[in-house]
């Protein structure tokens, strides 16, 4: 299956360290990759149907440290839909006058919801279909952007529907908060003062975060499998949905 990476922060932060370790895993998950950064009301989206370990687009991301408060990245191991640019995550849609970014890890069998014209998939994946359905149902449930707490409750109920068709690990962000839902495996950690040194599991690379942060910085990193060997990653419970705001998880 695919793998997910998300970051939510209280100040714009670059994700080069985490993305470097994450991209290494595309040797196994080689059917495309993508990464989306929010910058104010806009989104920078980079996708490629090539594996991240050999993609020139991924190399650009590693060399160009875009700073953002919300980032979602994905490396694909195809289950539904051929390898192609239109099937690369993350996917982006507009709702309530802002962009929403979504990526999924899993396999949904027989999930064929009725979709109206406002939200239709471009590609062939169960993932984009589920995203369009989520956007459609959010629009039905709320007339305008709800608070992160309200949206968490709505998403928790909605997620049960596609999850009943298979594995539904996903990340969703509107540039303000980030939501992560676990069917099987997700982990998160919060980096905050006092910062320490972290070493990647998949690359010979380490960073002393105390040298590149301020005492007020806070960063939440969410990923399928822990990226570092020396940090306190916290596993999600199966079926759990968590919201992250300003670099910290909201109370469950």
Buried b (16+ CB within 10 A) or exposed e, 153-168: ebbbebbeebbebbbb
Higher pLDDT among residues 164 and 82, named by residue: 164
CA 138 to centroid of chain Cα atoms: 18
Confidence of residue 134 (pLDDT cuts 50, 70, 90): very high
Q: What percent of the chain has pLDDT over 90?
A: 63
Q: Mean pLDDT across the chain, nearest whole number?
A: 90
Q: What is the mean pLDDT of residues 90-112?
A: 95
Give me the percent of the chain exceeding a pLDDT of 70. 94
Whether residue 41 is predicted with pLDDT greater than 80 in this model: the reply is yes
pLDDT at 29 over 70: no
**223 conformational bin, left if phi > 0, alpha if psi -120 to 50, beta if neither:** beta
Smallest CA-to-CA distance from 101 within 34, 30, 182, 169 is with 34
Q: What is the mean pLDDT of residues 24-40?
A: 76
Annotated catalytic residue: which of 2, 9, 132, 182?
2
Mean pLDDT of 214-227: 95
**pLDDT value for 84:** 77
The question of whether 2 is a catalytic residue gets the answer yes
The pLDDT value given to residue 66: 80
In the predicted model, is pLDDT for residue 168 greater than 70?
yes
* Alpha-carbon distance values, 107 to 3, 104, 165, 186 (Å): 12, 9, 8, 16
**Does position 22 have pLDDT exceeding 70, yes or no?**
yes
Tokens 């306190």 correspond to what residue? 232
User: End-to-end CA distance of the chain, in Å?
Assistant: 27
Dist. CA 28–CA 197, nearest whole Å: 28
Give the model's pLDDT for residue 80: 64
Q: Which range has the worst mean pLDDT, 64-68, 174-178, 245-249?
A: 64-68
27 pLDDT higher than 70:
no
Q: What is the mean pLDDT of residues 228-233?
A: 92
With a cut of 70, say whether residue 153 has pLDDT above it.
Answer: yes
Has residue 30 got a pLDDT over 70?
Answer: no
pLDDT greater than 80 at residue 204: no
Are 221 and 18 spatial neighbours (Cβ–Cβ below 8 Å)? Answer: yes
Alpha-carbon distances, residue 56 vs 19, 30, 46, 117 (angstroms): 14, 14, 11, 35
The mean pLDDT value for 47-66 works out to: 79
**187: confidence class by pLDDT, cuts 50, 70, 90:** very high
CA dihedral 140, 143, 144, 148 (to 10 degrees): -60
pLDDT of residue 78: 59
Query: Model-level pTM?
Result: 0.93
Residue appearing with tokens 């998939």: 121
pLDDT at 139: 96
Task: State the chain's maximal CA–CA distance in angstroms.
Answer: 51
Q: Which segments of the chain does DSSP mark as H helices, in order?
A: 16-24, 56-63, 126-141, 148-163
Contacts 24+ apart (CB under 8 A), 62-65: 62/16, 62/19, 62/20, 62/23, 65/14, 65/15, 65/16
Give the DSSP letter string of 154-190.
Answer: HHHHHHHHHHTTEEEEEEEE-SSEEEEE-SS--EEEE
Checking if the pLDDT of 28 tops 70, the result is no
* pLDDT at residue 165 greater than cutoff 90: yes
């Amino acid at each position: 299956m695919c793998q997910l990476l998300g970051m939510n922060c209280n100040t714009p932060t670059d994700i080069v360290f985490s993305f470097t370790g994450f991209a290494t895993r595309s040797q196994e998950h080689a059917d495309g990759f993508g990464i989306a950064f929010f910058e104010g009301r806009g989104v920078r989206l980079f996708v490629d149907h090539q594996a991240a370990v050999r993609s020139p687009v991924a190399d650009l991301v590693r060399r160009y440290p875009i700073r953002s408060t919300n980032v979602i990245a994905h490396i694909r191991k195809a289950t539904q839909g051929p390898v192609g640019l239109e099937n690369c995550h993350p996917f982006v849609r507009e709702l309530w006058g802002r962009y929403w970014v979504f990526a999924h890890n899993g396999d949904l069998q027989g999930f064929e919801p009725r979709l109206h014209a406002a939200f239709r998939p471009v590609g062939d994946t169960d993932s984009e279909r589920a995203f369009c359905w989520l956007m459609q149902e959010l629009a039905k449930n709320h007339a305008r952007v709800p608070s992160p707490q309200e949206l968490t409750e709505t998403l928790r109920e909605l997620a049960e529907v596609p999850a009943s068709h298979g594995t539904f690990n996903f990340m969703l962000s509107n540039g303000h908060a980030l939501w992560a839902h676990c069917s099987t495996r997700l982990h998160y950690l919060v980096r905050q003062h006092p910062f320490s040194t972290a070493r990647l599991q998949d690359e010979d690379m380490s960073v002393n975060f105390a040298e590149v942060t301020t005492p007020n910085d806070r960063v939440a990193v969410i990923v399928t499998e822990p990226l570092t060997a020396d940090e306190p990653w916290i596993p999600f419970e199966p079926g759990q949905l968590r919201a992250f705001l300003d670099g910290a998880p909201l109370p469950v």
